[in-house]
Amino acid sequence: MSSPAAASTITSSTSPLRRLAVHSTTTCATQASAYGKCIMATYTDVRKDVCKDEFEKFGKCVREAMKRKW
């Protein structure tokens, strides 16, 4: 069993996957919500590129948020 100190060290790490999760759910929440709403509104009528604009806006936000800061 791991200690609480070890768990907090893992939690506070800034791995790329963790940063992606944070940015996609907080920084880009508006764009993610718009994309999700589009998917939910059209999931019964699946067509290519039906939510393309929303996906591109969400992707752009995540890419900008994930840039390395050297």
Q: Looking at residues 45-52, what average pLDDT do you find?
A: 92
pLDDT of residue 53: 97
Number of domains in the chain: 1
Band of pLDDT at residue 69, cut at 50, 70 and 90? low
pLDDT in tens, 6-46: 444 444 457 888 888 887 888 899 999 999 999 999 989 98
Question: CA distances (Å), 54 to each of 22, 41, 42, in order?
Answer: 19, 13, 13
Question: Residue 2 domain-assigned?
Answer: no
Helices marked H in the chain: 4-11, 16-22, 29-42, 52-65
Question: Residue 56 domain-assigned?
Answer: yes
From the list 63, 66, 58, 64, the residue with the least C-alpha distance to 29 is 58
Q: What is the pTM of this model?
A: 0.67
Question: Residue 46 domain-assigned?
Answer: yes
Domain region containing 27: 17-65
- What is the chain's length? 70
Locate 41 and state its tokens: 């509104």
Question: Residue 60 domain-assigned?
Answer: yes
Question: Residue 4 domain-assigned?
Answer: no
Question: Residue 61 domain-assigned?
Answer: yes
